[in-house]
Structure 1
């Protein structure tokens, strides 16, 4: 029964990611993995060691204001399409977070905005036009990739690994 309660925060976070078709959150750990997938109506299917089920949650939106890594938020107006967390206990080099997001601006503008925010928060920033890399203010390696996704829109992925 305890495992069900551990899965509920995951399901709530997934409902917050917008609840679109194919939106998923996965958590990998030393004791197995938990995955959740939400549909457009807020129904969340969860699979975890010892538990598999479906629940309906109220929809709410998780966006740029609800996400922060070492003081850097997502580009204003962005929405999160997926969130993956990997926890490997004491092996911090293998753990990390990956967030995929959709931004309401072209890729160049989003990358420039991130570079300014990251440098202002004490990150090291290197990389080329398509990808920024470096270390967070806490010393964790990161990669930010932002690609065009239509007129005035972009799609990005920010990955931060243990350090």
Structure 2
């Protein structure tokens, strides 16, 4: 975990493609006290971790609808990503190689990805887009308010909150956790 902040820097630099940026955050916390964070917004990258802290200026990144999918289901075409957030946890026994307690793993992954977006369509059109995509990919899901909640084909869980934001605009928030 002590190398995590340095490992995140190439991710930021590889993703740069100019234009107006999409805010990106990554937070990692571990039970043994090794924590790290990565923030990219308005062309500034901030990295903090045990033994390392720095701020860097980089070209801004702009994530597009095609850059995001939930186990094969893409966002509605021409959606704009308003924010991309990853949180993760590292607990002994969670990984395939086990923790420092010598266990062989088997614990549940605490990681979560949240994507905030807007879609240029009516609420019904966006709902139908996701409903069709989830059905084609074999997800188990149910309606939840104006959105959905369920399980992906690989066992991860998700929620998708949608709300109308004017006639032809929808705000959405997708949250996914690992299996």
With the shorter chain as reference, the TM-score category is 0.7 to 0.9
Counting only pairs closer than 5 Å after superposition, residues 126-137 of structure 1 correspond to structure 2 as 126-137=142-153
Counterpart in 2 of 1:19? 21
Report the Cα distance in structure 2 between the residues aligned to 1:67 and 1:10, rounded to whole angstroms: 16
Tell me which of 166, 170, 173 is aligned to 1:150.
Answer: 166
> TM-score by structure 1 length?
0.80
Counterpart in 2 of 1:74? 75
Tell me which of 109, 114, 137 is aligned to 1:121.
Answer: 137
Q: Which moved more, 1:6-15 or 1:81-90?
A: 6-15
Report the Cα distance in structure 1 between the residues aligned to 2:11 and 2:45, rounded to whole angstroms: 10
> TM-score by structure 2 length?
0.74
Counterpart in 2 of 1:52? 53
**Following TM superposition, by how much is the alpha carbon of 1:157 offset from its aligned partner in structure 2, in angstroms?**
0.9
Counterpart in 1 of 2:66? 65
Counterpart in 1 of 2:37? 34
Report the Cα distance in structure 2 between the residues aligned to 1:142 and 1:14, rounded to whole angstroms: 25
> Which string of whole-angstrom CA distances, capped at 9 and with x for unpartnered residues, describes residues 59-94 of structure 1?
342111111221111111112222222333414342
* Partners of 2:163 and 2:171 within 8 A in 1: yes
**Following TM superposition, by how much is the alpha carbon of 1:158 offset from its aligned partner in structure 2, in angstroms?**
0.9
* Partners of 2:15 and 2:61 within 8 A in 1: no
Larger Rg: 2
Structure 2: gaps of 5 or more residues:
95-106
Cα 1:123–1:36 shift into 2, 3 Å: same
Count of matched residue pairs: 159
Cα RMSD, aligned residues only: 2.7
Report the Cα distance in structure 2 between the residues aligned to 1:120 and 1:18, rounded to whole angstroms: 33
* Partners of 2:64 and 2:81 within 8 A in 1: yes
Q: Which moved more, 1:73-82 or 1:91-100?
A: 91-100
**Following TM superposition, by how much is the alpha carbon of 1:15 offset from its aligned partner in structure 2, in angstroms?**
5.3
